[in-house]
Structure 1
Amino acid sequence: MSHFVTRIATIEIPVSNLNNSISFYTEVLGVQTDFKGENAAMLSFHQKGVPTIYLVETKNFQQLSFNNIHSNVEHSVIDFYTPTLKDFYNWLEKKKVEVGPLNINEEGIGGFGFKDPDGNQLSACNIEHWGQ
């Protein structure tokens, strides 16, 4: 069996105000703006193998999130990695970013949700998966 797809290239995020979103993502995630057009921008972590983030301004805006029908928890479709989960959580709170509860188990593994200026549900975790 042949495998044609080898990684995620880009994550596309709908936004209502491109400039506000660029400011949020560059400040909160530390990404760099590789391209900025009239209605879209490409942001990058500048690390090999890490997907870029493509912000697309739209008038037909729909927030990125979904509810788990079993737990009624709102989930994100994007989970960002941080080795300093508690510090990142506290920093976001100080920046007045809307954050959900910080969930950490006995082994110190966990995560939390947070929202961008448009209410897109994002999350952060300190879990490194195989190959990362």
Structure 2
Amino acid sequence: MSSFISHIGTVEIPVSNLKNSIKFYTKVLEVEVIFEGEKNAMLSFNKKGVPTIFLVETDKIEGVSFHNTNSDVEHTVIDFYTESLEDFRYWLTEQDVEVGPLNVHPENGMGGFGFKDPDGNKLSVTNVLHKYQ
């Protein structure tokens, strides 16, 4: 049987103030607004095969993370990629973005850290690339 799904198309993120969130995501992730409606917006990295980000304004923000009861760790459902974890983390702190601790494996330098958007949605960034990325 052939696969009907080839990749992730869009990641949807709940926000309480669309204008503020557009400013945050375009600045922090350097994405472009490709559509902006009254209560939602589509953002793009402008790279083939990379999902778009769909911001949806809503009165109820439930977040985009979960608590792993096996390890007692808060996980995000979105990991962004950067080649330079330390530089990006420093830059985020300079922008007054709330960031978590830098977690890097001492032997291979691979790891990541978490940060929050204006609504407290927990996001992550990693320097790990997997096969076919």
Structure 2 length as normaliser, TM-score?
Answer: 0.97
Instruction: Kindly report which structure 2 residues correspond to 1:86-105, keeping only aligned pairs within 5 A, or say none.
Output: 86-105=86-105
Paired residue secondary structure (1:86): helix
Match of 2:85? 85
Aligned identity (percent) is 62
Match of 2:108? 107
Show structure 2 runs of 5+ residues with no match.
none
Distance in 1 (alpha carbons) for counterparts of 2:89 and 2:73: 19
After superposition, the C-alpha distances for 1:30-61 in whole angstroms (9 at most, x for unaligned) are 00000100000000000000000000001122
Paired residue secondary structure (1:26): helix
Match of 1:119? 120
Paired residue secondary structure (2:87): helix
Paired residue secondary structure (1:117): coil
After superposition, the C-alpha distances for 1:74-120 in whole angstroms (9 at most, x for unaligned) are 11100000001110011111111111110111211010000000010
RMSD: 0.7
Give the superposition deviation at 1:26: 0.3
Paired residue secondary structure (2:88): helix
Could you list the runs of 4 or more consecutive aligned residues of structure 1 that deviate by over 3 angstroms after TM superposition? none
Q: Name the amino acid aligned to 1:50.
A: V
Give the superposition deviation at 1:73: 1.2
- Tell me how many residue pairs correspond in the alignment: 132
Show structure 1 runs of 5+ residues with no match.
none
Q: Name the amino acid aligned to 1:91.
A: W
Q: Name the amino acid aligned to 2:91.
A: W
Distance in 2 (alpha carbons) for counterparts of 1:73 and 1:93: 22
Distance in 1 (alpha carbons) for counterparts of 2:82 and 2:60: 32
Structure 1 length as normaliser, TM-score?
Answer: 0.97
Distance in 1 (alpha carbons) for counterparts of 2:60 and 2:92: 28
